[in-house]
């Protein structure tokens, strides 16, 4: 049997209409959305299915919305008695991975992401920040530019997604300077449509409050290993996992290293569970040319049925 990983997307995967077909098809998805709406005090079914996109993209709305859709897709897969060997999620998606691994309940997963979204929104209002994608330079080259520009940790690497796909984060003037230097070296710099400088020092003010909240939530030993963003490795102790998730707020997402870890573990089936195809796209830029692997995206009933036919 080939080893499989469940991957869960984060911010940027959202679209109006996401999850609607699962909502119509399954009673348990409607119950999940009701629970998520009760926790967040947001009408998530209306927001996810009808938008507007401007409201859906607000981080305080987006985090519970994307998570609810990812968990809905996950529940449909679990109903078919299909389980992964590993779990991983990109930034926000790591919380769905914790749920898939049996570390945190669905209810507590939604509580965590809603609190996280509130605190991140609070800090983004206090501290204006931005994020740019740098395409065409290695992580070492980008880190060298960051070091050259950085003042008071005002710019840093947010995500290392693929060999030459790196996201920087921080205060606008320093992010812009790094981008200009990157362009001068032949790279592309693309400003991202985000409302804050995620995974940066500008989120530090949320850390204490989030840590206090995380420690009110029950974390249990993983049933399946999770590859964590902060370490690109697994952890087995619930208390250590709590610390990792708090640290994730201001630390870079080591996604490229996480995918390499899965290659080293000889994982060949990669199932992106949740809205969009962002992770599948990154994966195709990450995998060694001669590596045997198959990528699935489970974001609609149609793609879910395709997945079932292939794995059953």
pLDDT exceeds 90 at position 116: yes
HEC sequence for 61-113: HHHHHHHHHHHHHHHHHHHCCCCCCEEEECCCHHHHHHHHCCCCCHHHHHHHH
Q: How far apart are CA 144 and CA 181, in angstroms?
A: 11
Cβ(150)–Cβ(156) below 8 Å? yes
Q: How far apart are CA 128 and CA 131, in angstroms?
A: 11
If pLDDT is split at 50, 70 and 90, which confidence band does 287 have? very high
Q: How far apart are CA 92 and CA 10, in angstroms?
A: 5
Q: How far apart are CA 234 and CA 232, in angstroms?
A: 7
What integer is the mean pLDDT of 144-166?
97
pLDDT exceeds 90 at position 311: no
Told to judge if 199 belongs to the known catalytic residues of this protein, a careful annotator would answer yes
Q: How far apart are CA 242 and CA 101, in angstroms?
A: 14
Facing residues of 229 across strands?
Answer: none
What pLDDT is stored for residue 83 in this prediction?
97
Give the up-direction half-sphere exposure of residue 156: CA atoms within 13 A in the CB hemisphere.
15
If pLDDT is split at 50, 70 and 90, which confidence band does 312 have? confident
Cβ(232)–Cβ(89) below 8 Å? no
- Point out the catalytic residue in the list 160, 199, 228, 258: 199
Q: How far apart are CA 49 and CA 80, in angstroms?
A: 25
What pLDDT is stored for residue 233 in this prediction?
98
What is the bridge-based pairing of β-strands 267-273 and 3-8? parallel
What integer is the mean pLDDT of 187-197?
95
Alpha helices, DSSP H, located in the chain: 20-25, 27-40, 44-50, 53-56, 59-79, 93-100, 106-126, 139-149, 172-184, 204-214, 238-247, 255-264, 278-286, 301-311
**What would the pLDDT profile of 156-189 be if each residue is shown by its tens digit?**
999 999 999 999 999 999 999 999 999 999 999 9
> Residue 52, preceding bond cis, omega within 30 degrees?
yes
DSSP 269: E
Told to judge if 96 belongs to the known catalytic residues of this protein, a careful annotator would answer no
Q: How far apart are CA 295 and CA 312, in angstroms?
A: 15
Facing residues of 253 across strands?
Answer: 159
Locus of tokens 């992106």: 272
Counting residues of the chain whose pLDDT is more than 70, the rounded percentage is 100
What integer is the mean pLDDT of 125-137?
97
What pLDDT is stored for residue 1 in this prediction?
74
Locus of tokens 């998606």: 93
What pLDDT is stored for residue 244 in this prediction?
98
Cβ(134)–Cβ(142) below 8 Å? yes
Query: All domains of the chain, ordered by start, with CATH?
Result: 3-125+201-311 (3.40.366.10), 129-191 (3.30.70.250)
- Point out the catalytic residue in the list 45, 70, 91, 200: 91
Average pLDDT, the chain: 97
């Amino acid at each position: 049997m080939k080893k499989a990983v469940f991957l869960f997307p984060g911010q940027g995967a959202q679209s109006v209409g996401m999850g609607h077909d699962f909502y119509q098809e399954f009673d348990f998805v409607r119950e999940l959305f009701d629970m998520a709406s009760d926790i967040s005090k947001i009408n998530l079914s209306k927001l996810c299915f009808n938008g507007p996109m401007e409201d859906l993209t607000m981080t305080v709305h987006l985090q519970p919305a994307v998570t609810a859709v990812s968990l809905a897709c996950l529940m449909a897969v679990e109903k078919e008695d299909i389980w992964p060997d590993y779990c991983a999620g990109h930034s926000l998606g790591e919380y769905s991975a914790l749920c898939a691994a049996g570390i945190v309940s669905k209810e507590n997963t939604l509580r965590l992401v809603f609190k996280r979204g509130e605190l991140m929104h609070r800090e983004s209002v206090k501290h204006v920040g931005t994020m740019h994608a740098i395409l065409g330079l290695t992580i070492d080259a980008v880190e060298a530019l960051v070091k050259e520009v950085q003042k008071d940790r005002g710019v840093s690497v947010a995500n290392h997604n693929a060999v030459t796909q790196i996201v920087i984060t921080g205060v606008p003037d320093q992010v812009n300077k790094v981008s200009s230097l990157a362009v001068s070296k032949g790279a592309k710099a693309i400003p991202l449509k985000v409302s804050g400088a995620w995974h940066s020092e500008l989120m530090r003010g949320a850390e204490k409050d989030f840590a206090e909240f995380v420690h009110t939530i029950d974390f249990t030993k993983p049933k399946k290993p999770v590859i964590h963003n902060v370490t690109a490795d697994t952890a087995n102790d619930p208390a250590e996992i709590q610390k990792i998730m708090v640290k994730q707020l201001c630390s870079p997402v080591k996604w490229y290293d996480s995918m390499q870890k899965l290659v080293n573990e000889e994982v060949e089936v990669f199932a992106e569970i949740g809205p969009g195809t962002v992770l599948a796209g990154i994966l195709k830029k990450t995998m060694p040319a001669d590596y045997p692997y198959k990528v699935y995206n489970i974001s609609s009933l149609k793609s879910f049925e395709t997945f079932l036919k292939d794995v059953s």
